[in-house]
Amino acid sequence: MPHGFEEHDDLTLSDHDVSALKDLERQTIDEIRKHRQHERLEVSIPVTLFRGNSSEAGEPPLEGTTGDVSKGGCRATFSMPVGVGDIYRLEFRGEVHPPVVFARCVRCSFLRENAFEAGFRFFNEVVLGGQAPGEDGLI
Protein backbone atom coordinates (compact mmCIF):
# COMPACT_ATOMS: atom_id res chain seq x y z
CA MET A 1 0.00 0.00 0.00
CA PRO A 2 1.54 3.37 -0.96
CA HIS A 3 2.21 5.67 1.99
CA GLY A 4 3.80 8.67 0.30
CA PHE A 5 7.42 7.66 0.95
CA GLU A 6 9.73 6.09 -1.54
CA GLU A 7 11.13 2.77 -0.44
CA HIS A 8 14.87 3.01 0.31
CA ASP A 9 17.44 0.43 1.24
CA ASP A 10 19.52 3.11 2.98
CA LEU A 11 18.30 5.95 5.16
CA THR A 12 20.00 9.23 4.34
CA LEU A 13 19.35 12.27 6.47
CA SER A 14 19.61 15.86 5.40
CA ASP A 15 21.55 18.40 7.47
CA HIS A 16 18.20 19.72 8.71
CA ASP A 17 17.17 16.21 9.83
CA VAL A 18 20.47 15.68 11.67
CA SER A 19 20.13 19.07 13.38
CA ALA A 20 16.56 18.27 14.47
CA LEU A 21 17.65 14.90 15.89
CA LYS A 22 20.49 16.55 17.83
CA ASP A 23 18.00 19.08 19.26
CA LEU A 24 15.76 16.23 20.41
CA GLU A 25 18.74 14.46 21.96
CA ARG A 26 19.53 17.57 24.04
CA GLN A 27 15.99 17.81 25.45
CA THR A 28 16.66 16.12 28.77
CA ILE A 29 14.72 16.76 31.97
CA ASP A 30 17.65 18.79 33.36
CA GLU A 31 17.80 20.92 30.20
CA ILE A 32 14.05 21.57 30.31
CA ARG A 33 14.27 22.58 34.00
CA LYS A 34 16.92 25.19 33.14
CA HIS A 35 14.42 26.98 30.89
CA ARG A 36 11.55 27.12 33.37
CA GLN A 37 10.62 30.51 34.73
CA HIS A 38 10.63 29.26 38.35
CA GLU A 39 12.21 26.24 40.01
CA ARG A 40 9.73 23.65 41.19
CA LEU A 41 9.62 21.99 44.57
CA GLU A 42 8.18 18.48 44.54
CA VAL A 43 5.89 18.50 47.56
CA SER A 44 2.63 16.82 48.49
CA ILE A 45 0.33 19.42 50.08
CA PRO A 46 -3.43 19.02 50.54
CA VAL A 47 -5.25 21.66 48.47
CA THR A 48 -8.90 22.63 48.24
CA LEU A 49 -10.07 24.03 44.90
CA PHE A 50 -12.96 26.53 44.78
CA ARG A 51 -14.46 28.27 41.73
CA GLY A 52 -12.98 31.77 41.47
CA ASN A 53 -16.09 33.55 40.19
CA SER A 54 -18.60 34.89 42.74
CA SER A 55 -21.47 33.55 40.62
CA GLU A 56 -20.09 30.01 41.02
CA ALA A 57 -19.36 30.25 44.77
CA GLY A 58 -22.06 27.66 45.52
CA GLU A 59 -20.30 24.93 43.52
CA PRO A 60 -18.81 22.19 45.73
CA PRO A 61 -15.03 22.40 46.18
CA LEU A 62 -12.61 19.72 45.01
CA GLU A 63 -10.05 18.21 47.35
CA GLY A 64 -6.67 17.35 45.87
CA THR A 65 -2.95 17.04 46.46
CA THR A 66 -0.10 18.96 44.89
CA GLY A 67 2.67 17.17 43.03
CA ASP A 68 4.90 20.21 42.77
CA VAL A 69 4.75 23.92 43.55
CA SER A 70 6.74 26.91 42.33
CA LYS A 71 6.47 30.65 42.89
CA GLY A 72 4.36 30.91 39.76
CA GLY A 73 2.16 27.83 39.80
CA CYS A 74 1.55 24.25 40.81
CA ARG A 75 0.58 20.81 39.61
CA ALA A 76 -2.14 18.96 41.52
CA THR A 77 -4.21 15.80 41.25
CA PHE A 78 -8.00 15.74 41.73
CA SER A 79 -10.75 13.12 41.47
CA MET A 80 -12.64 15.21 38.87
CA PRO A 81 -11.45 17.15 35.80
CA VAL A 82 -10.74 20.87 36.18
CA GLY A 83 -11.79 23.41 33.53
CA VAL A 84 -8.84 24.60 31.48
CA GLY A 85 -8.84 28.40 31.23
CA ASP A 86 -11.09 28.78 34.29
CA ILE A 87 -10.14 30.79 37.38
CA TYR A 88 -9.94 29.04 40.74
CA ARG A 89 -9.21 29.88 44.36
CA LEU A 90 -6.78 27.38 45.87
CA GLU A 91 -6.51 26.92 49.63
CA PHE A 92 -3.34 25.11 50.69
CA ARG A 93 -2.89 23.48 54.08
CA GLY A 94 0.54 23.44 55.63
CA GLU A 95 3.62 25.50 54.89
CA VAL A 96 2.24 27.91 52.31
CA HIS A 97 2.05 31.70 52.66
CA PRO A 98 -0.44 33.04 51.71
CA PRO A 99 -2.69 30.02 52.31
CA VAL A 100 -5.19 31.18 49.64
CA VAL A 101 -4.23 32.03 46.05
CA PHE A 102 -6.07 32.66 42.80
CA ALA A 103 -4.91 30.83 39.71
CA ARG A 104 -5.89 29.95 36.16
CA CYS A 105 -5.96 26.31 35.13
CA VAL A 106 -3.58 25.98 32.17
CA ARG A 107 -3.92 22.24 31.57
CA CYS A 108 -5.77 19.15 32.78
CA SER A 109 -4.91 15.56 31.89
CA PHE A 110 -6.69 12.27 32.48
CA LEU A 111 -4.40 9.95 34.45
CA ARG A 112 -6.81 7.09 35.21
CA GLU A 113 -10.37 6.65 36.50
CA ASN A 114 -11.02 9.27 39.18
CA ALA A 115 -7.58 10.87 38.79
CA PHE A 116 -6.92 14.07 36.84
CA GLU A 117 -3.72 16.12 36.91
CA ALA A 118 -4.14 19.88 36.56
CA GLY A 119 -1.58 22.64 36.13
CA PHE A 120 -2.23 26.11 37.55
CA ARG A 121 -0.59 29.49 36.98
CA PHE A 122 -0.85 31.78 40.02
CA PHE A 123 -1.85 35.43 39.64
CA ASN A 124 0.63 36.37 42.42
CA GLU A 125 3.78 34.61 43.55
CA VAL A 126 3.44 32.10 46.40
CA VAL A 127 5.98 31.53 49.17
CA LEU A 128 6.49 28.18 50.92
CA GLY A 129 8.27 27.09 54.05
CA GLY A 130 8.50 30.33 56.03
CA GLN A 131 10.46 32.40 53.48
CA ALA A 132 9.60 36.06 53.43
CA PRO A 133 7.90 37.27 50.24
CA GLY A 134 10.48 38.56 47.79
CA GLU A 135 13.30 36.30 49.01
CA ASP A 136 15.29 34.72 46.22
CA GLY A 137 15.64 31.00 45.80
CA LEU A 138 13.27 28.11 45.79
CA ILE A 139 9.89 28.97 47.16
CA distance 52 to 23: 40
The structural domains of the chain, with segments of one domain joined by +, span 46-128
pLDDT score recorded for residue 21? 73
Confidence of residue 1 (pLDDT cuts 50, 70, 90): very low
Class of domain 46-128: mainly beta
Helices (H), the chain: 15-26, 29-34
Closest alpha carbon to 66 in 84, 48, 52: 48
61-111 residue pLDDT tens? 999 999 988 888 999 999 999 999 999 999 888 765 666 789 999 999 999
pLDDT at residue number 31:
56
Q: What would the pLDDT profile of 34-63 be if each residue is shown by its tens digit?
A: 544 446 678 788 999 999 888 888 889 999
**Euclidean distance between CA atoms 21 and 49, whole angstroms:** 41
Residue 76 to residues 34, 66, 81: CA-CA distances in angstroms?
A: 22, 4, 11
